[in-house]
Amino acid sequence: MEQTQAGKIPSSVPEVPARGDTFQAARERLNERLAGVGEQARDAAQYADEAVHNNPWTSVGVGFGVGVLIGALIAMAASRGSRAL
């Protein structure tokens, strides 16, 4: 079951990478990804803040519309729940 180096199947135990190294590398990659996601979230929050400051009444209108939509969905769900009883 031994293959060449291209197959990457180790022929003995010492050739298997240590778990600590693998976990450390995975942790480093995860931290890099989280840092990137955090940076994108900060950029999105900054963009949203600027958009609201540049268009305050549009933002109020959108917020009102979303609130009405959520309220209507909750009212519909509540009326269906009371009919089932």
Residue 74 or 84, more confident: 74
Instruction: Say if pTM beats, i.e. exceeds, 0.85.
Output: no
- Predicted local confidence at residue 71, as pLDDT: 97
HEC profile of 23-73: HHHHHHHHHHHHHHHHHHHHHHHHHHHHHHHHCHHHHHHHHHHHHHHHHHH
15-39 pLDDT, tens digit per residue, is 555 666 788 888 889 999 999 999 9
54-73 pLDDT, tens digit per residue, is 999 999 999 999 999 999 99
- Predicted local confidence at residue 18, as pLDDT: 60
